[in-house]
Amino acid sequence: MSDTLLGAILAALAATSWATGAIFARIGMQHMGSTTGTFFSLITGFLLILVIALVLDYEAMFNVSVETISWFVLLAFIQFPLGRFLNFNGIKYAGVAPATAILGSTPVFSAILALIFLGEQITLMIGLGIVAVVIGLAMVLYRS
């Protein structure tokens, strides 16, 4: 299996995971607030991935550079608590379909940030993909 195919399969599984999580978040927030939901989601997710990481690659957990850990700590503060909290609130107020469609605009922001911070190029195909995402968002969010 090629790396590209494996990456596509893993991305599709991640998308399925996020979609399922959005449904469960919406159901759970019928009985608690998004702040509490975010807290419980983060704690249980942390414990689950800690066990998986220790079981699958115990030695790697202790062979990571301080610089790498620093980047992941920054990521942990931005993406997980803040991103999940905002996502859960979006699901709570807008509903699963519109909120997850907007979350699907990640490639637009990723491309712009990668251009600014990493010097990556926006190719014709990436540009067309960004346009497609924006058009798709407009279609999903348009209320007749």
Read off the pLDDT of residues 33-47 as tens digits, 9 standing for 90 and up: 989 999 998 899 889
Cα separations (Å) of 41 from 1, 20, 52, 83, 127? 33, 13, 16, 12, 35
Distance between CA atoms of residues 78 and 108, nearest Å? 18
Q: Are residues 83 and 122 in the same domain?
A: no
Confidence (pTM): 0.74
**What mean pLDDT, rounded, does the chain reach?**
88
* 82 and 108 together in one domain: no
Domain containing residue 123: 104-144
88 and 138 belong to one structural domain: no
Q: How far is residue 130's CA from residue 111's CA, in Å, rounded to a whole number?
A: 8
70 in the same domain as 35: yes
Q: Quickly state the pLDDT bin for 144 (edges 50, 70, 90).
A: very low
**By C-alpha distance, which of 85, 76, 12, 90 is closest to 46?**
76
